[in-house]
Amino acid sequence: MATLSQRFNKHTGRIFGTIRAEWRELYGRYFGKIRRFDGNAEQICEQIIDELWTGDFYKTSLGHFDFFWMRDFGTVAESLVRLGRKKHVLHTLKWALMHYRRSATVTTCIDKHGNCFNAPMHAVDTLPWLLHCIHVSGYDLNKSERAFLEHELRKYTRKYLDTTGHVRPIKFAEMRDAVIYDRSAYAVALVGRMAYCVEQLGLQDFPYKLQKYQKELITRYWNGQYFNADRTTDAFSAECALFPFFLGVIEDEALAGATLDYIVDEKYDQPFPMIYTKQPKAFKYHWWMTAPFMPEYEGYTLWSWHGMFYLHTLRRFNRPEFKVQRERFAKGMIEQHGIFPEMLNKDGSWYYAPVYRGDPGMVWAGMYVDLARLKHRRAR
């Protein structure tokens, strides 16, 4: 049970962290500046990664996301380790675990003051990404950290999974946080990855195995070309289609090939990777993250994050499109703007909406630098 001090830290962190984050978004929209870096795409990305290191943790961006976001860090942690930044990755995890334990909970975000908060709400993927990072970095958990994580696993299982281990049909945040999914393929893939990491780390109190979620993805989500976005729609959504392969949850080359063929045939990688979806009307949205406030935020927009997942998957499965698509991404997404943007409009211009501006200098830039060094498939 959380102590009085932990409960105080949890509630004050949620309030102050959220207020500060929302203020920075609005300020950045109307007053923030987009900095340009010199050099080619790789050099630009290396400079960004250097500047995102605070001495305690990796910030999510050089813009309004100047705090730690577990999901974003999770996607790039393995790349940062391969780029020789393991010391910084381990320090970030130690810093995050300290604040999580102090607040007696694992949250999506932590600001520079140590305030732990969820944005836009509690998320199904936060604990999976934390365990993924601990596994791929080789972080050595101490006894207290293990006990804390096992407690969080018990909480997670009660909150997000039903009595058979399947994701419950409740509202929570995930990668595509503008959308209200009914048990997305992305969520299932993340729980599967967590099951694998729990076993590898020797943690207790999570009774389900990776194979359970592999079977669920194949039998309930695979439609012959890609993984359906969720239980109620067969629409394509980039993160749901790619993450089972990106995380190594599904390693079937035939399935990966079918998905990559679909992306090419339907031009989701044009003019450069990658369009979130071409079926935006197939999804339900949170009212504050769609028109008129943030139109097409996670629709026809070109997302650099998903471009990275796509390019890494192309590279891992030795696809012939890799070199051309990497060059298109470098020129259109990075060098055109002199920075690594969060996302762009479908014509390649910077995304502006009434209450939001695409953020500059994302930590995902580390994944681009890593592409040249990724010679083998994921060794889980």
Q: Is 115 exposed, middle or buried (0-12, 13-18, 19+ CB in 10 A)?
A: buried
Decide if 376 is inside a domain: no
Q: How many C-beta neighbours within 10 Å does residue 121 have?
A: 11
For each of the chain's 380 residues, which pLDDT tens digit applies?
Answer: 666 565 655 566 666 667 777 888 888 888 888 999 999 999 999 999 999 999 999 999 999 999 999 999 999 999 999 999 999 999 999 999 999 999 999 999 999 999 999 999 999 999 999 999 999 999 999 999 999 999 999 999 999 999 999 999 999 999 999 999 999 999 999 999 999 999 999 999 999 999 999 999 999 999 999 999 999 999 999 999 999 999 999 999 999 999 999 999 999 999 999 999 999 999 999 999 999 999 999 999 999 999 999 999 999 999 999 999 999 999 999 999 999 999 999 999 999 999 999 999 999 999 999 997 765 444 44
CB 306 within 8 A of CB 274: yes
249 to each of 193, 197, 380, how far by Cα in Å? Answer: 6, 11, 9
Contact yes or no for 316/308 (Cβ under 8 A): no
What's the one-letter identity of residue 182? D
What is the Cα gyration radius of the chain? 19
Residue 28 lies in a domain: yes
Residue 378 resides in a domain: no
CATH of the domain at 286: 1.50.10.10
Residue 213 falls inside a structural domain: yes
C-alpha to C-alpha distance for 213 and 231, rounded to whole angstroms: 14
Strands of 7-81 (E only): list them: 68-69
Residue 379 lies in a domain: no
Q: Is residue 380 part of a domain?
A: no
CA-to-CA separations, 39 to 192, 330, 339, in angstroms, rounded: 39, 11, 10
* Dihedrals phi, psi of 173, to nearest 5 degrees: -85, 155
98: its two tokens: 């300290």
Indicate whether 278 belongs to any domain.
yes
Residue 80 lies in a domain: yes
pLDDT at 71: 98
Number of domains in the chain: 1
Burial of 237 (0-12, 13-18, 19+ CB in 10 A): buried
**Residue 78 is part of which domain span?**
4-371
The rounded distance, in Å, linking the Cα atoms of 360 and 295 is 19
Q: What is the pLDDT of residue 376?
A: 42
Q: What pLDDT is attached to residue 85?
A: 98
